[in-house]
Chain A
Amino acid sequence: MKIAIASGKGGTGKTTVAVNLAAVIQGSCLIDCDVEEPNAALYLNPKIEEINKVELPVPRLKEDGCSYCGLCARLCAFGAISVLPGSAAGKGTLLVFDHLCKSCGVCMGLCPERALKEELRAIGTVETGNSCYGTFARGQLDIGEVAAPALIRVLKQKAIYAPVTIIDAPPGTSCAMINTINGVDLCVLVTEPTPFGLNDLKLAVEAVRKASIPFCVVINRSMGDDEIIEQYCRAEGAEIAAKIPFNMEMARRSSEGGLLCATGTVFRDYFTHLAEKVQKT
């Protein structure tokens, strides 16, 4: 089964839950889809065995042939091309905005002069390997690059899945997050017992419901009485699968890149219980 760990915003402890879950489930797979800031590897220390460059096709003008008719610019739904007709004296100009291009191929396919060719543009990497807990895969978007959804789709294809696969989703409810949770069996939404936490949880719940994915809630930095989140979950019929208490020792360990579930620690139980629960769903 595939379980995505998501949250309406960053900093809730989403990655902490993901890596610890992956570590208590023997022979699991962890996919780090937080491609703008993949840091699950800091906790799991995987050995990376394969690195793949991810490239997207973007249009480029051939040497000649373009009549500057402007059809491609009018057809591009994403505003990624501008065609400026030339003056009597000079040639026109065709501009391609690579960051806006979604590689749909429409412009290249429909140019009446066949004046556009495809060029591959690197957007990031996908890496696969193994940790002592199971298989591992992560995507890393190049700095300044925005094509996270495309990179995530490649990452999800290249990953070597296990009977239980844990996916660390990008924070928020962006296209990247939706691409990540697409096709998973369960979403675990990590939140905090604060007004901000509640607000972001609501957004996340709305997103997973729209995608028709079953979900449960994990309250991180629990104060014991988390009425603000509990009241909402009761009203929405959402299950609270675990409460992870706030604890200085835990915060320190996590910030040092340590796994909370490391053998012998008192925190291990939280994650083994959560693992049992989510696998039953």
Chain B
Amino acid sequence: MKVCITAQDNNENAQVDPRFGRCAFFAFYDTDSGDYQFFQNEAAFADGGAGTKAGNFIAGKGVRVLMTGHLGPNAETVVNAAGIRLITVNSGAVKDVVDREKAGFK
């Protein structure tokens, strides 16, 4: 299963980015292999619709759990419609928050 964590940089020691639509990177954690993959958020500097674009991106990648700080109303609609479960995290290193919440990824 794929978990997405919004991150300030493209490695697992990076801090969580509390903004969803305008986060710097998406960290994808694969619960089966334990591997990480990082994607730059193309919508971070979009004029409008950053939240829905980010929602489209993670839904398209088949993410099932999203860990981030704040979702705008449009992004929330997309994430809910895609059936993605939300775990709110505002700070901490990516790998630490993953370790902490691991038990709940099902």
Contacts and interface: CB of A to CB of B under 8 A. Distances in A.
A82 interface: yes
Nearest to A83: B56
A83 B78 CA distance: 9
B3 to A, nearest CB: 18
Contact of A95 (B43, B46, B51, B81): B81
A78 B48 contact: yes
A73 to B, nearest CB: 5
B43 A84 contact: no
A78 B56 contact: no
Contact of B49 (A74, A80, A83, A84): A80
B2 interface: no
A10 interface: no
What are the 9 tightest A-B residue pairs by CB atom distance, in nearest-first order? A79-B49, A79-B52, A79-B53, A82-B78, A78-B49, A100-B49, A84-B82, A78-B48, A73-B56
Interface string B34-59: 00000000010011111111011001
B56 A82 contact: yes
Interface string B69-82: 00000100110011
Contact of A80 (B43, B52, B55, B82): B52
Interface of A: 70, 73-74, 76, 78-84, 93, 95, 97, 100
Contacts of B48: 78-79, 100
B60 interface: yes
Contacts of B52: 79-82, 97, 100
B79 to A, nearest CB: 10
A144 to B, nearest CB: 12
B59 A82 contact: yes
Nearest to A70: B60
Contacts of B77: 82, 95, 97
A242 B82 CA distance: 59
Contacts of B50: 79
A79 B60 contact: no
24 contacts: A74-B56, A78-B47, A78-B48, A78-B49, A79-B49, A79-B51, A79-B52, A79-B53, A79-B74, A80-B49, A82-B55, A82-B77, A82-B78, A82-B81, A83-B56, A84-B59, A84-B78, A84-B81, A95-B77, A97-B49, A97-B77, A100-B48, A100-B52, A100-B74
A93 B78 CA distance: 10
A34 B78 CA distance: 33
A84 B51 CA distance: 15
Given A70-B60, A100-B48, A100-B74, A79 B81 contact: no
Contacts of B51: 79
Contacts of A100: 48-49, 52, 74
A97 B74 contact: yes
B46 A79 contact: yes
A186 B21 CA distance: 39
Interface centre among B47, B50, B52, B59 (most CB of A within 10 A): B52
A148 to B, nearest CB: 14
A73 B82 CA distance: 14
A142 B52 CA distance: 24
A76 B48 CA distance: 11
Given A76-B49, A79-B43, A79-B49, 9 more contacts: A78-B49, A79-B51, A80-B52, A82-B55, A82-B56, A84-B78, A93-B81, A97-B52, A100-B74
A168 B56 CA distance: 40
A122 B30 CA distance: 45
Nearest to B77: A95
